[in-house]
């Protein structure tokens, strides 16, 4: 099993091993590019304070989660772990058993726990790619409890690895024990520091599209009228079958917007 997969945050109680320079963001206040990792860590720490969950002996969790967020932004999380993700708890356990090693089991349980934490922390779940049957039969609470349990199992198997991974094992166990806190902090961070919105329902989307279309209709009508008049002028200059056909085609959108208007009457 790849060492890289296990270590997208190598030692979660230190900053030295987090790849902080791979992705930057533009600070609009000073026009400078800054390491994205520090933006995410700072936003997460502020969110802990704003939700009355100030760090108390779990500072390494802050670094771990900032590193996880960083790996999501630059794409490493899914690029490195796509083979470990599974939709159901049963599938996750089967993947872990197929690995056959403590390292492999740690990777599988940790990856799926991270995936669920981000899905239900930053967002409102997995979204439309989950089957309707699974949506009906599996509540959000079930996914969240799975994540908590996966972190605990990942910690157990990680503790059996060489001593340099003991810090990671401790961090994973802390996330399992304080899962509700970290989920709440991530939710606050998503809304207040990352400006993420709740997913719109199909009904909300329909009303939003309807309102947007209604607001755009005057400008659409002007544009359709301009195109029709341009085609009409070309037909007046060169009254042939080709220009006539182009005029009738160009007039169709305007006629749909103005049902009482007869484009053919202009050609009589």
Comparing 134 with 235, which gets the higher pLDDT? Answer: 235
Last residue in a domain, options 199, 223, 257: 199
Say whether both 45 and 128 belong to one domain.
yes
Q: Give the residues across from 88 on adjacent strands.
A: none
Say whether both 253 and 159 belong to one domain.
no
pLDDT of residue 133: 43
**CA distances (Å), origin 68, targets 41, 123, 256:** 10, 15, 52
pLDDT band per the 50, 70, 90 thresholds, residue 231: confident
Q: Can you tell me whether residue 30 is helix, strand or coil? A: coil
pLDDT of residue 126: 57
Can you tell me the mean pLDDT for 122-137? 55
- Residues 22 and 19: their CA atoms lie apart, in Å, by 6
Say whether both 194 and 208 belong to one domain.
no
What lies within 8 Å, CB to CB, of 27 at 6+ separation is 33, 34
Say whether both 188 and 232 belong to one domain.
no
Say whether both 155 and 240 belong to one domain.
no
- Residues 15 and 104: their CA atoms lie apart, in Å, by 25
Position 117 pLDDT exceeds 80: yes
Last residue in a domain, options 167, 199, 231: 199
pLDDT band per the 50, 70, 90 thresholds, residue 2: very low
pLDDT of residue 98: 92
Exposure string over 64-92, b if 16+ CB within 10 A, otherwise e: bbbbbbbbbeeebbeebbeebbbebbeeb
Can you tell me the mean pLDDT for 142-170? 92
Position 123 pLDDT exceeds 70: yes
What lies within 8 Å, CB to CB, of 52 at 6+ separation is none
What lies within 8 Å, CB to CB, of 1 at 6+ separation is 99, 101, 103, 104, 107
Say whether both 148 and 243 belong to one domain.
no
Exposure string over 242-261, b if 16+ CB within 10 A, otherwise e: ebbebbbebbebbbeeeeee
27-60 pLDDT tens trace: 666 777 778 888 888 899 999 999 999 988 899 9
- Residues 115 and 150: their CA atoms lie apart, in Å, by 11
Say whether both 135 and 90 belong to one domain.
yes
pLDDT of residue 268: 65
Say whether both 189 and 60 belong to one domain.
yes
Structural domain boundaries enclosing 182: 3-199
Helix (H) and strand (E) counts in the chain = 12, 2
Position 157 pLDDT exceeds 80: yes
Q: Which of 101-105, 220-224, 261-265 has the highest mean pLDDT?
A: 101-105
Last residue in a domain, options 158, 181, 199: 199
Can you tell me the mean pLDDT for 130-156? 74
The structural domain count of the chain equals 2
**CA distances (Å), origin 90, targets 15, 95, 113, 147:** 35, 9, 14, 13
Q: Is the dihedral of CA 76, 95, 160, 103 positive or negative?
A: negative
Say whether both 243 and 142 belong to one domain.
no
pLDDT of residue 60: 93
**Would you say the pTM of this structure is higher than 0.85?**
no
Say whether both 174 and 215 belong to one domain.
no
Say whether both 142 and 94 belong to one domain.
yes
158-201 pLDDT tens trace: 999 999 999 999 999 999 999 999 999 998 988 888 766 555 55
251-263 pLDDT tens trace: 888 888 888 777 7
Q: Give the residues across from 34 on adjacent strands.
A: 25
Say whether both 181 and 235 belong to one domain.
no
């Amino acid at each position: 099993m790849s060492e890289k997969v296990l270590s997208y945050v190598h030692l979660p109680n230190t900053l030295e091993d987090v790849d902080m320079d791979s992705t930057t963001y533009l600070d609009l206040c000073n026009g400078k590019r800054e390491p994205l990792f520090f933006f995410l860590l700072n936003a997460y720490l502020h969110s802990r304070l704003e939700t009355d969950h100030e760090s108390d002996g779990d500072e390494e969790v802050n670094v771990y989660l900032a590193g996880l967020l960083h790996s999501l932004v630059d794409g490493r999380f899914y690029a490195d772990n796509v083979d470990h993700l599974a939709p159901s708890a049963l599938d996750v356990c089967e993947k872990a058993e197929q690995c056959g090693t403590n390292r492999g089991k740690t990777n599988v349980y940790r990856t799926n726990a991270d995936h669920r934490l981000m899905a239900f922390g930053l967002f409102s779940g997995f979204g439309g790619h989950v089957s309707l049957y699974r949506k009906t039969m599996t509540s959000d609470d079930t996914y969240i409890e799975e994540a908590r349990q996966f972190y605990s199992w990942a910690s157990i198997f990680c503790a059996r690895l060489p001593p340099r991974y003991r810090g990671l094992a401790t961090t994973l166990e802390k996330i399992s024990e304080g899962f509700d806190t970290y989920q709440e902090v991530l939710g606050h961070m998503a809304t207040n520091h990352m400006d993420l919105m709740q997913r719109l329902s199909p009904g909300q989307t329909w009303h939003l599209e309807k309102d947007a279309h209604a607001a755009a209709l005057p400008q659409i009508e002007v544009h359709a009228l301009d195109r029709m008049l341009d085609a009409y002028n070309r037909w007046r200059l060169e009254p042939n079958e080709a220009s006539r056909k182009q005029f009738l085609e160009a007039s169709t959108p305007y006629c749909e917007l103005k049902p009482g208007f007869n484009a053919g009457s202009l050609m009589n």
